[in-house]
Amino acid sequence: MNGLDVRRAGRGSFMIALAIYAAVVGRDILASAVIFAAHAPNEAPLLLWAGLGLCAFFFLAGALQLYVGATKYLGERDLIAGAKALMSASCAAGLLWYGAYLPGWPVLNLCLKGIYIAWIPASLARALLHLRGLPETQLPDPEDVEDMPMSGPADRKQAREGMEGRGDWEPPHFRS
């Protein structure tokens, strides 16, 4: 389940970044909503609140996925997977930096910019989980822990003596 937890944490950080981007860009789209409000004044506030509610829902769902993915991940340190995630983040940063957009498609370019921005924290979350590794803990000595079940005797004779006082138990009979 470790791969699933890393992907879950990456998806969560992607959703958080995309929700924040949509809320910020939604502020810029407010001017078009005001024009829409002139034609249908009763529906414009509902549309704006629905958009903000959708952003808040994606933010909370992403936060939950990021929390669950980060706390459940127990994989070993994986330098190659961490390097791949860092390269993925650098690819997204490069696409954003050099403006890899489609000419003549302003709405699609706005969505592409949001995907590039959200791709970076998703890759960084995956890289952080891969490079973090297991927590450095040491198990306690079993003799120091109270009521720790211990295995029975290893000697066959002692094992037989321990089983004889247990009611209707009889040793197995094998064909020879």
**In this predicted model, what pLDDT tens digit does every residue of 52-61 receive, in sequence order?**
788 888 899 9
Q: pLDDT (tens digit, 9 = 90+) per residue, 116-130?
A: 999 999 999 989 888
* pTM over 0.75, yes/no: no
Residue 160 pLDDT > 60, yes or no? yes
The residue with tokens 């803990």 is 137
- Give 169: exposed, middle or buried? Use CB within 10 Å, 0-12, 13-18, 19+: exposed
Mean pLDDT of 84-90: 93
In this structure, which amino acid lies at residue 148?
M
